[in-house]
Amino acid sequence: MTATRIDDLPLRDELRGKFPYGAPQLDVPVRLNTNENPYPLPDALVARIAERVTEAARHLNRYPDRDAVELREKLAGYLTRTTGHPVGRAQVWAANGSNEILQQLLQAFGGPGRQAIGFEPSYSMHALIARGTGTGWLSGPRGEDFTIDAPAARQAIAAHRPHVVFVCSPNNPTGTAVDAATVLALYDAAQAARPEGGGALVVVDEAYTEFSHHPSLLPLLAGRPNLVISRTMSKAFGAAGLRLGYLAADPAVVDAVQLVRLPYHLSAVTQATALAALEHTDTLLGYVAQLKAERDRLVTELRALGCRVTDSDANFVQFGRFEEADGGARGAWRALLDRGVLVRDNGVPGWLRVTAGTPEENDAFLDAVRELMKAINERRNA
């Protein structure tokens, strides 16, 4: 009997020949490829999680709070405190990572016969979740410097009339932030392009906003029912393993995603753990200040080594350019891996992305780049 292949199955046509999301999880000394926080959770928080999870465990015979009321209340408090913009529980929704938030949004506002647009290069999951939900995908333009060119973006929206617009700020993998004026221009263009049927949903993915030089775009929610701010505890909170993402939007958007969410999607253990982490917000955000300083140091030192570096508002840095004659981004990625440092090749020609790690990890990375640049220069001069 021969093994069954995926293509032998009655799979949806648009999934045939495709590959799953897969950042390599390689066992190397310095792993700076998935924008995780390098610091383990502090002991006091680990103990608090144990306490809250123990309490939750006593009730695991019951389904969890389907509406995650306490958690949403605490997330709303966090947003209010950190942005100065009042946010209430009814404006917040939580799910298993912001990827699930984005999936629920596309299930409710995208789907067959509808289209979403993103400005690429950007977060690859936006396109993948579109595909998974049967939503058409449109690749919008970015400028040479990787910022969103507002007039070009507005033109793309007017031409294609998408139902959902993704704006990633700060953008992954480039690190660039989007200013409020650009988001407003895109929002207005998206509504103008779809004058009937309630307009178009604009999703601002703020996974990295805590690392930004710029304030959150959350205050733009006022008076804009089709705007959604998506957030996560995977990056600034250093809790990628927790799987907790959330959104802030008009309460009507929260009502809409409840039409598609699975019942009891957020386990009692997840809710308890997230609540414990939110009690330690100040400690966790202390690491953010450290990581921002390390991010800025990476930018400065990479430039001193002769690399081009895109200005970064995130906990990672895009650097290059590795010309094809020098082995391209793939060759540079391999050379760094050979020196024990794993970075990310996002498929942007000539560019790689490195996550800000601990000072020691960053030193190891910079040493590896120094050797790589030396080797490239020697080869060029040979």
Ligand X SMILES: *Cc1c(COP(=O)(O)O)cnc(C)c1O
Cα(344)–Cα(357) distance, rounded to whole angstroms? 13
To ligand X, the closest distance from the beta carbon of 154 in angstroms equals 22
35 is an interface residue for ligand X by CB under 6 A:
yes
Residue 237 touches ligand X, criterion: CB under 6 A = no
* Binding of ligand X by 245 (CB under 6 A): yes
Q: Are 100 and 133 in contact (CB under 8 A)?
A: no
140 interacts with ligand X by CB under 6 A: no
In angstroms, the CA 102 to CA 82 distance is: 23
Binding mask 161-190 for ligand X (x = CB under 6 A): -------x---x------------------
The span from the CA of 84 to the CA of 121, in Å, is 31
Contact in structure between 380 and 205 (CB atoms under 8 Å): no
Q: Binding pattern to ligand X, positions 60-79, x when CB under 6 A? A: --------------------
Check residue 357 for interaction with ligand X (CB under 6 A).
no
Residue 205 engages ligand X in binding (rule: CB under 6 A): yes
**Site membership for ligand X, residue 98 (CB under 6 A):** yes
**Nearer Cβ to ligand X, position 172 or 226?**
172
Tokens of 359: 């000072």
Minimum CB–partner distance for residue 266 and ligand X (Å): 13
Q: Between helices 43-57 and 268-279, what is the axis angle to 10°?
A: 150
* Contact between 34 and 353 (Cβ < 8 Å): no
Find the shortest distance in angstroms from Cβ 203 to ligand X. Answer: 10
Which residue number, 242 or 368, has a Cβ lying nearer to ligand X?
242
Residue 302, token pair as written in the block: 């990479």
Q: How far is the CB of 69 from ligand X (least distance, A)?
A: 21
Nearest approach, Cβ of residue 192 and ligand X (Å)? 26
Beta carbons within 10 angstroms of residue 162's beta carbon: 26
Do residues 49 and 273 make contact, with C-beta atoms less than 8 angstroms apart?
yes
Q: CA–CA distance from 307 to each of 100, 343, 356 (Å)?
A: 36, 15, 16
CB of 235 to ligand X, least distance (A): 6
Binding of residue 318 to ligand X (CB under 6 A): no
Check residue 212 for interaction with ligand X (CB under 6 A).
Answer: no
- Residue located via tokens 């690491």: 287
Tell me the residue type at 154: R
Looking at beta carbons only, is 83 or 103 nearer to ligand X? 103
For residue 196, the minimal CB distance to ligand X (Å) is 30
244 vs 366, beta carbon nearer ligand X: 244
Contact indicator for 234, 240 with CB cutoff of 8 Å: yes
What sign does the CA torsion over 232, 233, 234, 236 have?
positive
Among 156, 183, 207, 309, binds ligand X (CB under 6 A): 207
**Residues paired with 201 in a beta bridge:** 164
Among positive and negative, which fits the CA dihedral 234, 239, 245, 248? negative
Q: Which is nearer to ligand X, 205 or 313 (by Cβ)?
A: 205
Q: Tell whether residue 33 is a contact of ligand X (CB under 6 A).
A: no
CB of 102 to ligand X, least distance (A): 7
Position 104 contacts ligand X (CB under 6 A): no
254 sits near ligand X (criterion: CB under 6 A): no
- Contact between 120 and 142 under an 8 Å Cβ cutoff? The reply is yes
Q: DSSP letters along 241-276, please?
A: TT--EEEEE-HHHHHHHTTTSPTT-S-HHHHHHHHH
Segment interacting with ligand X, rule: CB under 6 A, options 92-100, 127-135, 155-163, 303-311: 92-100
Binding residues for ligand X, per CB under 6 A?
Answer: 35, 97-99, 123, 168, 172, 205, 207, 232, 234-235, 240, 245
